[in-house]
Structure 1
Amino acid sequence: MRKIALVAAASAAALSLAACSESTGDAAEATAEEAMADAETNMDEAAAEVEAAGDEVSAEADDAAAEVEASVQGETEAEAQAD
């Protein structure tokens, strides 16, 4: 009788561990998917910021070039930008 009770208790413990392992695995998978989604969002935002910064630098470079051209050629910046 003791052996039957011991086997039943061991079986119940094994089933409990199996259920915990499955839920832990599911939680880990969900966490990994959320991390992947966060990383994708962050990459998209970073790409947009880099593109905006590039546009700003390009515009400032164009303005600086027009200013130098105007100074060298003795014309207004508007005339230099039109060239």
Structure 2
Amino acid sequence: MRKLAYTFLLLVTAGTILTGCREKKTAGEKIEDGVEEVGDGIEHAAHDVSH
């Protein structure tokens, strides 16, 4: 019974740590990332067309 309790406690602790460390981005940062992704996509498409 103790092993089950320790396992549950370990899982809850790991879940809390992993979800607590997520990086939170502002709206401006999300927009900037999106613009960069579109720019990269256009650049790759242009490169594919030129070859």
What TM-score, normalized by structure 1, do the two folds share? 0.31
* Structure (1 or 2) with the greater helix fraction: 1
Which fold has the larger relative contact order, with Cα–Cα distance below 8 Å and residues 6 or more apart in sequence? 1
1:15, distance to aligned residue in structure 2 (A): 0.1
Unaligned 5+ residue runs, structure 1? 30-83
Match of 2:34 in 1: 12
Gaps of at least 5 residues in structure 2 are 1-24
Alignment: residue pair count = 27
Q: Normalising by the residue count of structure 2, what TM-score does the alignment of the two structures yield? A: 0.51
Identity of aligned residues (%): 11
Please report the RMSD computed on the Cα atoms of aligned residues, expressed in angstroms.
Answer: 1.2
Greater Rg by CA = 1
